[in-house]
């Protein structure tokens, strides 16, 4: 159970949430909704105990499982830990399994009596592991991993060598594998394929504890939740029913408020007209007019507040100077992490103005290939050549260039030499004008996405490499990004699992990973996009 009493959330000098109270009980399945920057992620952090609210109290009982928008590697105590070991840490047997593996490793290096002592230690640890249901738990952990698209090879891979999407699936598996009483999930469907999403929806629908979920995945919100908490303009409003019911009820409440406000304004207007008419007449009528003034003041204080119409994100990529005919070419690329060979002998050649999508199942090496093309990572074999007059802009799904301890405006200055006036104007188009002096590390996932896109805009690049650019964006911002990319005349390489987004972008060619086969893009490939 989780109870929040008069909780308020602030970011810098901004109040994201005025004092609000709510609770999460067993069986509750609540969707937390609101535009990017409304405070959803900040509220979840406070509920999970990872930050303190500006005011109010949060009471927790039982085990809380919290999935943040980003898989934070800084939390890993052991850089050698594999994906399976990371999942097992959700239960007590995780540490015991780690000690068994360390002992097994020491046994391979030891000899004589030292080895005998290690054998006896391993035997004791294994007996305890078995007695506590360790092997059954391993089998269960593997089932969770498989359901979320984590392969057997990935389970044996060190977490520090994984892509952001792989790490996040591991973290989701770990949290769901834990025996929790409350789940706080921030965008849990990011990086999941269709099968994994379907399994997750079924899991959340059957979950007996309390659930609070933030997601821009509308089917998830419709099928897995029974009530909604809506954040916006610093206020929280509760709704019964699923997301579709919330949208209809929100519209109905707004229409009701508009009618009430119109009635109040008309009444105030009539009284003010009377005041103007009689204030300078007889003493009796002037006295009545003064009483009306008091009534008008009271009515104005009681007027129904109407939320301002939301401003929209406006994205426009300035048309860049043209590059050479072949802006980017790569030959014989290969990459492996330890014993996990990601891909071998992959070639890439881009034509100026071309739109290319990198496709493949989870773990096929899409993000790794994009990072190599961007020069962020080195291939084990092969070469990448940039053509004449090429300027590459890289959007990383994990927002690696957005560093804590640096303000939003400082990061914009790193991306462009334009004067601050221009940089602030671009931030305004992304609805970040009031965050120019805010620590970028405190932004929500959606706000970090907008900041990263704003950096690309001011960079005036003629080649864009985009890794899951629609993750964490609300529907309006996603639509604005799509319109901007459709009009962009430079060269584009994209990784995306958003089939609707890709369909409207209309790529020219695709590279199918891990084989690296280059083919012309066809509409029938959209199914593979969704599966990725």
Query: Per-residue pLDDT tens for 481-491?
Result: 888 888 888 99
Determine how many CB atoms are found less than 10 A away from the CB of residue 474. Answer: 17
Q: Indicate whether 262 pLDDT > 80.
A: yes
Specify whether the CB–CB gap between 514 and 364 falls below 8 A: yes
Environment class of 475 (CB within 10 Å of its CB; exposed 0-12, middle 13-18, buried 19+)? exposed
Q: Which long-range contacts (CB under 8 A, 24 or more apart) does 22-26 make?
A: 22/229, 22/236, 22/238, 24/182, 24/210, 24/211, 24/212, 25/1, 25/210, 26/1, 26/181, 26/208, 26/209, 26/210
pLDDT of residue 36: 77
Highest mean pLDDT among 109-113, 152-156, 255-259, 342-346: 342-346
pLDDT range class, residue 308, cuts 50, 70, 90: low
pTM of the model: 0.70
Q: Indicate whether 328 pLDDT > 60.
A: yes
Strands 210-214, 227-232: pairing kind: unpaired
Phi, psi of 23 (to 5 degrees): -145, 155
Residue 189 in domain: no
Residue 229 in domain: no
Strands 463-467, 64-67: pairing kind: unpaired
pLDDT of residue 287: 76
pLDDT range class, residue 443, cuts 50, 70, 90: confident
* Domains contained in the chain, number: 2
For residues 163 and 209, the model is more confident at 209
CA 178-184-190 angle, 5° bins: 90
Domain that holds residue 471: 328-402+440-531
Determine how many CB atoms are found less than 10 A away from the CB of residue 318. Answer: 12
Return d(Cα 286, Cα 301) in angstroms, integer: 23
Residue 306 in domain: no
256 CA to centre of own chain: 34
Q: Indicate whether 74 pLDDT > 60.
A: no
pLDDT of residue 176: 95
Residue 96 in domain: yes
**Which residue from 350, 352, 397 is spatially nearest to 373, judged by alpha carbons?**
350
Tell me how far CA of residue 446 lies from CA of 38, 39, 451, in angstroms. Answer: 10, 10, 9
The DSSP secondary-structure symbol of 98 reads H
Return d(Cα 283, Cα 289) in angstroms, integer: 10
DSSP assignment of 12-23 equals: TTEEEEEEEEEE
Q: What is the mean pLDDT of the chain?
A: 86
- Mean pLDDT on 390-419: 87
440 CB contacts (<8 Å, ≥6 apart)? Answer: 402, 403, 404, 406, 407, 408, 411, 448, 451
Share of the chain above pLDDT 70, in %: 96
Environment class of 326 (CB within 10 Å of its CB; exposed 0-12, middle 13-18, buried 19+)? middle
User: For residue 370, what is the domain's CATH number?
Assistant: 3.40.50.300
Q: How many CA atoms lie within 13 A of 221 on its CB side?
A: 24
Hey, is 227 helix, strand or coil? strand
**Which residue from 242, 207, 246 is spatially nearest to 230, judged by alpha carbons?**
246
Tell me how far CA of residue 88 lies from CA of 69, 113, 170, 245, in angstroms. Answer: 21, 32, 10, 38
**What number of residues does the chain have?**
532
pLDDT of residue 23: 93
Q: What's the token pair of residue 374?
A: 């961007």
- Mean pLDDT on 209-224: 86
Share of the chain above pLDDT 90, in %: 32
For residues 227 and 96, the model is more confident at 227
Peptide bond into 514 cis (omega under 30): yes
Query: Per-residue pLDDT tens for 283-307?
Result: 777 777 778 788 888 888 878 776 6
Specify whether the CB–CB gap between 69 and 187 falls below 8 A: yes
Return d(Cα 185, Cα 395) in angstroms, integer: 24
**Which residue from 105, 125, 124 is spatially nearest to 115, judged by alpha carbons?**
105
Last residue of a domain, one of 124, 146, 179: 179
pLDDT range class, residue 151, cuts 50, 70, 90: confident
Strand partners, 337: 340
Last residue of a domain, one of 150, 179, 208: 179
Which residue has tokens 């949208």? 247
Q: Indicate whether 172 pLDDT > 90.
A: yes
Last residue of a domain, one of 111, 144, 179: 179
pLDDT of residue 332: 95
**Which residue from 186, 152, 153 is spatially nearest to 50, judged by alpha carbons?**
186
**Which residue from 210, 251, 267 is spatially nearest to 66, judged by alpha carbons?**
210
- Mean pLDDT on 258-280: 82
Sheet of 340-350: strands edge to edge? 340-350, 328-337, 381-386
305 CB contacts (<8 Å, ≥6 apart)? Answer: 257
pLDDT range class, residue 35, cuts 50, 70, 90: confident
- Mean pLDDT on 402-412: 89
For residues 232 and 60, the model is more confident at 60
- Mean pLDDT on 367-374: 93
Residue 459 in domain: yes
- Mean pLDDT on 244-268: 85
pLDDT range class, residue 60, cuts 50, 70, 90: very high
Sheet of 64-67: strands edge to edge? 64-67, 182-186, 210-214, 29-33, 227-232, 235-240
Helix (H) or strand (E) holding 55: strand 55-60
pLDDT range class, residue 310, cuts 50, 70, 90: low
DSSP assignment of 152-215 equals: HHHHTSBGGGS-HHHHHHHHHHHHHHS--SEEEEESTTTT--HHHHHHHHHHHHH--SEEEEE-
For residues 394 and 477, the model is more confident at 394
Q: What's the token pair of residue 48?
A: 């999970």
**Which residue from 383, 388, 529 is spatially nearest to 463, judged by alpha carbons?**
388
Phi, psi of 527 (to 5 degrees): -65, -40
Residue 477 in domain: yes
């Amino acid at each position: 159970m989780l109870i929040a009493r008069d909780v308020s959330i602030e970011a810098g000098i901004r109040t994201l949430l005025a004092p609000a109270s709510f609770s999460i009980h067993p069986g509750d399945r609540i969707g937390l909704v609101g535009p990017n920057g409304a405070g959803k992620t900040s509220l979840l952090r406070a509920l999970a105990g990872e930050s303190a609210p500006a005011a109010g109290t949060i009471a927790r009982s039982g085990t809380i499982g919290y999935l943040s928008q980003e898989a934070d590697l800084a939390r890993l105590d052991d850089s050698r830990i594999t994906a399976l070991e990371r999942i097992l840490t959700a239960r007590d047997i995780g540490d015991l399994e780690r000690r068994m593996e360390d002992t097994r490793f020491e046994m391979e290096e030891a000899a004589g009596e030292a080895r005998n002592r290690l054998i006896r230690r391993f035997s004791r640890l294994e007996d305890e592991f078995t007695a506590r249901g360790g092997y059954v738990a391993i089998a269960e952990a593997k089932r969770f991993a498989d359901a979320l698209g984590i392969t057997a090879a990935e389970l044996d891979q060190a977490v520090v060598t994984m892509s952001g999407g792989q790490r996040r699936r591991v973290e989701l598996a770990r949290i769901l594998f834990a025996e929790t009483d409350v789940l706080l999930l921030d965008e849990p469907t990011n990086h999941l394929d269709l099968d994994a999403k379907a399994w997750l929806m079924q899991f959340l629908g059957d979950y007996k504890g309390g659930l609070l979920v933030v997601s821009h995945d509308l089917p998830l919100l419709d099928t897995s939740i029974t009530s909604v908490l809506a954040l916006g303009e610093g206020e929280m409003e509760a709704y019964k029913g699923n997301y579709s019911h919330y949208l209809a009820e929100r519209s109905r409440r707004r229409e009701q408020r508009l009618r009430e406000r119109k009635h109040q304004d008309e009444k105030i207007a009539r009284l003010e007209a009377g005041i103007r008419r009689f204030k300078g007449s007889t003493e009796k009528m002037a006295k009545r007019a003064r009483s009306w003034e008091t009534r008008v003041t009271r009515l104005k204080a009681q007027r129904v507040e109407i939320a301002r119409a939301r401003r929209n994100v406006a994205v426009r990529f300035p048309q860049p100077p043209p590059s050479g005919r072949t802006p980017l070419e790569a030959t014989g690329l290969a990459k492996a992490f330890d014993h996990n060979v990601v891909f071998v002998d992959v070639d890439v050649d881009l034509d100026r103005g071309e739109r290319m999508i990198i496709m493949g199942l989870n773990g096929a090496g899409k993000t790794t290939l994009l990072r190599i093309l961007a020069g962020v990572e080195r291939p084990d074999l092969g070469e990448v050549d940039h053509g004449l007059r090429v300027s590459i802009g890289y959007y990383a799904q994990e927002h690696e260039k957005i560093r804590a301890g640096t303000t939003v405006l400082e990061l914009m200055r790193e991306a462009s030499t334009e004067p601050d006036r221009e940089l602030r104007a671009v931030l305004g188009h992304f609805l970040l004008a009031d965050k120019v002096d805010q620590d970028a590390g405190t932004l929500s996932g959606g706000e970090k996405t907008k900041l990263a896109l704003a950096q690309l805009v001011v960079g005036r690049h003629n080649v864009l490499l985009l890794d899951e650019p629609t993750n964490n964006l609300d529907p309006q911002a996603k639509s604005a990004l799509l319109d901007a990319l459709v009009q962009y005349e430079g060269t584009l390489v994209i990784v995306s699992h958003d089939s609707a987004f890709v369909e409207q972008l209309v790529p020219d060619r695709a590279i199918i990973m891990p084989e690296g086969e280059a083919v012309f893009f066809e509409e029938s490939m959209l199914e593979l996009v969704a599966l990725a």
